[in-house]
A and B are shown apart, each in its own frame.
Chain A
Amino acid sequence: MRLLSYFRGEAFQRGVHPPQCKLTARTKIRRLPFPPRVIVPLSQHIGKPPRPIVRVGEEVVRGQPIAKADDWLSVPHHAPVTGVVEFIGLRPGMRGPWVESIVIRAHPGATQEDLWGQPRDLSNASAQDLLQAIWDTGMVGLGGAAFPTHAKLTVPSQAKVHTLVVNGCECEPYLTCDHRVMVEQADDLVEGIRYAMRATGAQRAIVGIEDNKPDAADAIRAALARRGPLPEGEIHAELVPTKYPQGSEKMLIMALFGVEIPAGGLPVSLGMVVNNVGTLAALGQLLPRGRGLTERVVTITGPGVARPGDYIVPLGTPLRFILDYAGAPEAQAKEVILGGPMMGQAAASLDVPVTKGISGVVVLRGEDIALGADRKIYPCIKCAECVESCPMGLNPSMLGMLAAKREYDLMGEQYHLGECFECGCCSYVCPSNIPLVQQFRVAKQILREKAAAAKSS
């Protein structure tokens, strides 16, 4: 009840409570078999795509680097399977257009053991060496944004980081991969947090977990108790009230510290760095073994899946293979979402591979999306539901009316369109069924193009 929210301590203002649908919160992480063929797109992250360093016909072993980062804001890729490079060229991408990819045919008889990396001791490594080691793993933010982790952990020279915020909120409905990672890989997570604290110089780390998964916090506290005192500093696991979009770093920092990150600023301006639990758990696994990122935990779920669960999926596995294995009859699948249902992207085809930034595959049947899809679109009745749900404090009702009139400049200048991070709360609650977020995405793209044109001329 919103009436009561004024009297109750709330994590952040506004936001929504979509049905959680966490079907797989109690099932253990399982391993998906290796597909006969993997497709590794070169651009899986924010930044420049890396350059392939293998030729067609070359034999690769699992974990071997196959693409090299030329630019600082770029990461290398490693072969997800032992096999032969079959093709380097265009393959279907998750956004629709075909993208440059490396296709590797797996050896049917290979054991698929990760033989490439050398175990190493990083206990005395400097921050610089640690960042280089993190870069070499090809790690990006596994929560969905896919921002290169070494860049995120690099502290600008004028700033000083005192706190590492570890984001274990996982506020999207259906997704449970971060939840299961926290429960089952708590020791790796603590290791990863320690590396990240040393790389950034943070004196404390706080794992923010939504209170719908107290078992994750218990698992982390138990792992911390097993470790005893750490030389890096304090690590706390903290429960925050469940609410969408808590997983946004601005909202999580608001919930933990009660402070707003200034508009246009980054958490580092307040001395904080935010990282996802999946990313740090993977770092904790990979860094001491000297390996690269070749697989990740993906939640395969939705009403259209017979055997939903959290699976360890080799990167580059095509969706068709995953859905066959998890038991999603193709005739039933009406929409396949990469990521969560609030912010995820609908897959354009089932030949699209799993990439580093995909945290979930949600399969919806026709009857599940009928609620939103076949509903009539009414004019805005100014019910103020969107204003009451926008976590950024915008006025989506007004923005939507301006977008319909193509007043994009006005939206950007007076109604703070740039602050919108497309969480989808306004579209979710809109009783008139107006596709507000879609309109804002178009408007933002047009404004970006205008700004780029103005810059170049």
Chain B
Amino acid sequence: MDTSAASPASPASHIDLVARVSDLGKTYGAHDNRVSALRGVTIGIRRGEFTAIMGPSGSGKSTLMHIMAGLDSATTGEVWLGDTEITSLADDALTILRRRRVGFVFQSFNLVPTLDIEGNILLPFELDGRRPSAGEREWIDQLVVSLGLVDRLRHRPHELSGGQQQRVAIARALATRPDLVFADEPTGNLDSRTSREVLTLLQAAGREYGQSIAMVTHDPIAASYADRILFLADGEVVRDLGKSSAEEISSLMLGMERAA
């Protein structure tokens, strides 16, 4: 796609980063009731890794995800997706960027109720006004099989269980082989067994297909599936952990809550 934006100034160490933000700030409101959601956040999401972004409510983790995904605007700082700086992009360019280079899995209401499952999976292509190429078609068929959706293609979302709906959302997010998949509390509405299934699928997408994933969550068990865990508190990154167990993550979270 558009590679002309690759700035020669970007340091070599950024090459393995699929997305990064530097000195990112976001404030809401004006004057007296100004609230800072993010205060100078600088992070990079590594290519092919499953990264969890954790933090208590109000820590700014959702805002960070929204800005990185081109859904919300930054107040200060730079946001890069691959080698595109997105804070300067106009709404239409951002929309096309989301369509082609980003995938989404939300907590709920992920699917368009009027489209069947296949229609939902193919939606990003349809929005682009094209049909998947033979190669893409093969990839989608493979996803549909591995996510166990073969018998469900003609169903409508409301006919599926919550876990099945999340699998469809994952299939759709992976279908375009985006640079980065954002998952916003993807297991927030699921029971624990279904949660494990969905998390295993996301983990497998990273390991088997090299898909980069950034998952926002406040659930230590969910975060324990990730390769790396970033902790946010009060709009700042406070810890950057490698793979950790749910127990380690929990105690860290508790410590942060007590300190607050």
A and B bind: no
